Structures are given as structure tokens and as C-alpha cells.
């Protein structure tokens, strides 16, 4: 994988027990790695994995879920640990807890609290190319416009349509949101694992949105095939390759790391934008904001 390609890809991983041994086999330092915050793990495990990866030499971007943080004291402790390890970028979400564990109920509150603690952190926020099952488009846009002035980047929720992503980038630009956009795409995992891991990540409620798609139809019938991530990524580059807001692709790996080298070696450079073919949208896994 060339340095140009490496600079335009970010892997999202789960803080599993074998992550520190498996990731270096598939992805070299100083690549960019985003570490999830699972509801049943809480932020401590995310921060532990993130600091370890940072010390290995990765550019590490831990997720912090607002509803999982119990107090301002805990937040400041987590931030100090990350600073000590050289972590300078975070990704903020509300999280999937129904009841907040502490004073932060949505990512906007957490955004302000972290900026008040240290304005040096770069903070990413979530975007939703195909909407959210519990929020209207108007609510999503109001939330995005409220958070954007303090944010440094935007990561889109997993989407299976390059055209939907392109429309979303145009929409936020027309709303005067000029954040760099990391486009969220699934990694090369089996469809069964994609769905089962999605449920474990606390977003199983949205699976009903996929029941009408051909992909999901095969799944419900017991099919087990792999998603062609490389084709989608080439289509994203075709749609957004010259767009100044396009930062790169954010690959949701679900820790299926053994399949990654083939995908990473096939990624297009900034100049490559072939494959004019179109694919249908398959909305899966919208998360809390």
C-alpha cells in the first residue's frame, strides 16, 4: 500500500483481546486506526486499547460515547491518559445507553466539555447519508450545524451507496458545513458477520431497515457471501475524487483483519476514478448521534 493511499484510509476496530497482535499483521504504522466504544465495555477499554496502539506507533482515534461517561472527573482522567500517550484526535458519539451514566446525554455536550478541557484535541462527529431511524432530517441537520463549529472532521455512518454519500456531501456543503468527510464503508467481511457484529455493537434495531434489500434477502434465507468493499470504494472515489471535502475512506473492519491486506492493496489513488457503474443503497446500522 502506497503512502498516498495509506494517508487516505482509516480503519475502525473493536478493542478485542487480540487486537494488538493481529492489527500489525494487516496494517502498518503509522496508519490511522479508529477504536470503537462498545456499550458493554464503556470508555475505559477503548482508552486502554487506544493508548496501547498509539504507543505502537499508530495514529489512534478513540471513540468516546457521551452517555457512557460517568462524570467530569472520569472524562478528565480519560483525556489525560490519551494525552500522555500522544493521542490528539477523538471521535464523539452519544452512545447506545438508554440512560446516561453521567452528565452527558449527547455528543454536543461532550464536544463542548472536551474543548473546554483542552482546545488542542481534534474532534470528529458523525454524519448520516441515509438518515437515522429515530431522528428527522431536520433534526440531524440542526444537530450537525450546532456541533460543526467545534468539530474538526466528520465520519459518515456505514453506507452502501456512493451516490447517497455524494448527495450527502453536497447537502452539508450547501448548509455551510465545511468539515473534511471520512466516508464510512464496510470492510471485506461476510454478510452474516456484518449483521451479527452490528447487533453486538448496539445497533441491531436498525437491521429491520435492510429487510427489503436483495443483500438482506439472501441473508434471511441463510446465504453467506462476502461484501465487495473494493468496488464500493472505487465508486466513492469516482463520485468524490476531486471534492475538497473528501478526506478518505473510513473502513468498518469488525476486526475481520485477515481480509484487509487484499483490500488495502487494491485501493485507488486520488487520481484514479474509474467504474462508472451504479449500485443501490443498502442502509444499515445507523447509530446514535
The answer on pLDDT for 280 being more than 80 is no
Helix 229-240 and helix 162-174, axial crossing angle in degrees, nearest 10: 40
Lowest mean per-residue pLDDT among 162-171, 207-216, 260-269, 275-284:
275-284
Single pTM value for the model: 0.84
Lowest mean per-residue pLDDT among 99-108, 132-141, 184-193, 207-216:
207-216
pLDDT of residue 241: 86
For 184-234, give the DSSP string.
EEE-S-BHHHHHHHHIIIIIGGGGGGGTTSHHHHHHHTT---B--HHHHHH
For the segment 231-269, what is each residue's pLDDT rounded down to a tens digit? 889 999 999 988 999 999 999 998 989 888 888 887 776
- Domain range annotation of the chain: 3-266
For the domain 3-266, what is the CATH code? 3.20.20.220
The answer on pLDDT for 83 being more than 60 is yes
pLDDT of residue 2: 62
Lowest mean per-residue pLDDT among 80-94, 109-123, 157-171:
157-171
For the segment 144-179, what is each residue's pLDDT rounded down to a tens digit? 999 999 999 999 998 888 999 999 999 999 999 999
Measure the CA–CA gap between 94 and 264, rounded to whole angstroms: 30
Enter the C-alpha cell of residue 1.
500500500
For 34-69, give the DSSP string.
EE---TTT-HHHHHHHHHHHHHHT-EEEEEEEGGG-
- Is-cis flag, bond preceding 264, omega within 30? no
For the segment 48-75, what is each residue's pLDDT rounded down to a tens digit? 999 999 999 999 999 999 999 999 999 9
Amino acid at each position: 500500500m502506497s503512502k498516498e493511499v495509506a494517508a487516505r484510509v482509516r480503519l475502525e476496530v473493536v478493542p478485542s483481546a487480540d487486537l494488538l497482535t493481529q492489527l500489525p499483521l494487516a496494517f502498518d504504522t503509522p496508519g490511522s486506526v479508529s477504536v470503537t466504544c462498545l456499550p458493554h465495555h464503556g470508555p475505559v477499554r477503548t482508552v486502554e486499547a487506544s493508548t496501547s496502539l498509539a504507543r505502537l506507533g499508530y495514529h489512534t482515534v478513540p471513540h468516546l460515547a457521551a452517555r457512557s461517561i460517568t462524570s467530569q472527573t472520569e472524562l478528565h482522567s480519560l483525556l489525560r491518559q490519551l494525552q500522555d500517550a500522544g493521542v490528539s484526535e477523538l471521535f464523539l458519539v452519544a452512545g447506545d445507553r438508554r440512560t446516561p451514566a453521567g452528565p452527558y446525554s449527547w455528543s454536543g455536550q461532550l464536544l463542548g466539555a472536551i474543548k473546554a478541557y483542552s482546545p488542542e484535541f481534534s474532534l470528529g462527529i458523525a454524519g448520516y447519508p441515509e438518515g437515522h431511524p429515530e431522528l428527522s432530517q431536520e433534526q440531524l441537520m440542526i444537530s450537525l450545524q450546532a456541533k460543526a463549529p467545534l468539530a474538526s472532521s466528520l465520519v459518515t455512518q456505514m453506507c452502501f451507496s456512493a451516490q447517497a454519500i455524494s448527495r450527502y456531501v453536497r447537502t452539508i456543503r450547501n448548509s455551510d458545513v465545511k468539515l473534511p468527510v471520512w466516508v464510512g464503508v464496510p470492510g471485506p467481511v461476510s454478510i452474516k458477520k456484518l449483521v451479527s457484529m452490528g447487533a453486538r455493537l448496539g445497533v441491531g434495531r436498525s437491521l429491520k431497515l435492510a429487510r427489503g434489500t436483495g443483500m438482506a434477502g439472501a441473508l434471511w434465507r441463510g446465504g453467506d457471501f462476502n461484501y465487495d468493499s473494493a468496488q464500493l470504494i472505487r465508486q466513492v472515489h469516482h463520485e468524490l475524487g476531486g471534492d475538497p471535502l473528501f478526506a478518505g475512506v473510513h473502513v468498518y473492519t469488525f476486526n475481520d483483519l485477515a481480509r484487509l491486506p487484499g483490500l488495502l492493496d487494491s485501493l485507488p489513488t486520488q487520481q484514479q476514478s474509474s467504474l462508472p457503474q451504479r449500485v443501490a443503497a443498502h442502509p444499515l446500522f445507523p447509530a446514535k448521534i
